[in-house]
Structure 1
């Protein structure tokens, strides 16, 4: 498709479905010399690997000891890392503050916040060892719910909001260390992922459900996965080399104004 990522090596968590899968496919198409992606679904990972040539590792981001094996694969197979996309996340089991269980809260903290923290730590270690000297781009997939909270998803909203400052703190530290390693967050709105499309089609009134979700954005539609991946390509490329500690919203205007006014 192109060469915007020519010669670069990327690590993508949660790469077996949705935006993560789209990123694996597009990064390879844009000339990346290697993509390592992780996830829990070995069957999906194997299929994506066979179709794209990317390297799949079965690993859950909250599995802290397992990060050693991920780093070893990147280091031994490619000898460098240029891009890390912390994409893995969930809202499974979440609820409002009165009903959420401590167990559900902790599980989402582990996946949505400790996972990205471990991704940054692993990526920074690998990027510091690049043959020509330290450098790279780390991207965290937050959400517009990191800016505006959901009453019924207290843990998801909390973790996505915390990712903003996780990225900023990491960005400032790594900049002051003269590493040329950048850390930014993206904040997608409602995107037409298989999960969202499945929820729409499984609703009692799919047409009403689609209309409601499309109406969240003033632009009046769902975002597309390729539009989010276009943003990832920009952040992963040298075109964004002066951007760090930034939060990039891609939501069709959803958070730009007061709804209904």
Structure 2
């Protein structure tokens, strides 16, 4: 307990899946958490869980692709909790499509949520965190390291997150801003988004078994597997870690 005691953390896409797990664990370890999502009811339910467990949290409805919302959300976090120390850029979508059949609309929507929003969050968090030993954690994917023939826009967006993170880390480090920036690269984690993707391409049970087999460890990951990695990067335990890629993938990319 207390690995992020006294810190204020903003987690986007925190109403379910990896984002919810991150919000709950950060709160359990002492952070005051801002739960950001478009889904108000689900987001408020996450806040209720945190409060019921003795933590502090607030919900903010946010479209992460709307630039004007970012300074407003950060200001609200600072007004309520006094500062911002941690940002987890987690909100994301996946729209199947290969390089030939992916529509321009799907391409732009994917990049807007998965890449543009990470840029916006990082851009506005840096000045808020400067001098506070802040930590920005961008959720990329194994799909930002290796490719899938049927996830063209997702590959592009997550690959962009990977290198943008390094650029931001270099800027913050060389400028003496006391802000670290790292990316997390989960393998297949059993979340509502992955479950929906599996359903979209075939039988759920067969798809789950196929995904399990892709990972040398023998199974897909759980949301807490990623949340514990995020907790490490949010904490001062990782004070010498910036511009890094934390791969949490059951050995997927080691093959």
Question: TM-score with structure 1 length normalisation?
Answer: 0.91
The alpha-carbon distance between structure 1 residues 115 and 202, as it changes in their structure 2 partners (threshold 3 A), is closer
Instruction: Report 1:104-115 matches (<5 A).
Output: 104-115=106-117
Match of 1:63 in 2: 66
Paired residues for 1:158-177 under 5 Å: 158-177=156-175
> CA 1:201/1:169 → structure 2, altered by over 3 Å: closer, same or farther?
closer
Shift in Å at residue 41 of structure 1?
A: 0.4
Pair 255,164 (structure 1): closer, same or farther in 2 beyond 3 Å = same
5+ residue gaps, structure 2, are 52-56
Q: Does 1:178 align with 2:176?
A: yes
Q: Quote how far apart the aligned CAs of 1:196 are.
A: 3.0
After superposition, what is the alpha-carbon deviation per residue over 1:33-54, rounded to whole angstroms, capped at 9, x for unaligned? x111211101111211222132
> Secondary structure at 2:87's aligned position in 1?
strand
- How far, CA to CA, are the matches of 2:198 and 2:212 in structure 1? 11
Q: CA RMSD in A?
A: 1.6
Task: Compute the displacement of 1:68 (Å).
Answer: 2.3
Asked if the contact 2:74/2:84 (under 8 Å) is kept, the reply is no
Structure 1 stretches of 4+ with a deviation exceeding 6 A read none
Q: For 2:107 and 2:18, how far apart are their aligned partners in 1?
A: 24
1:209-228 correspondence runs (5 A)? 209-228=207-226
Deviations 1:44-86 (A, max 9, x none): 1121122213211111110111112202101211221111100
Q: 2:47 aligns with which of 46, 49, 62?
A: 49
> Which of 160-169 and 45-54 deviates more?
45-54
Q: CA deviation at 1:200?
A: 5.4
Q: Deviations along 1:80-102, whole A, 9 cap, x unmatched?
A: 1111100001113x411111111
TM-score by length of 2: 0.93
Equivalent residue, structure 1, for 2:54: none
Question: Residue 129 of structure 2: which of 105, 127, 130 is its match?
Answer: 127
More helix by share: 2
Q: 2:144 aligns with which of 143, 146, 166?
A: 146
- Count residues in correspondence: 250
**Uncovered stretches (5+) of structure 1, i.e. residues with no partner:** none
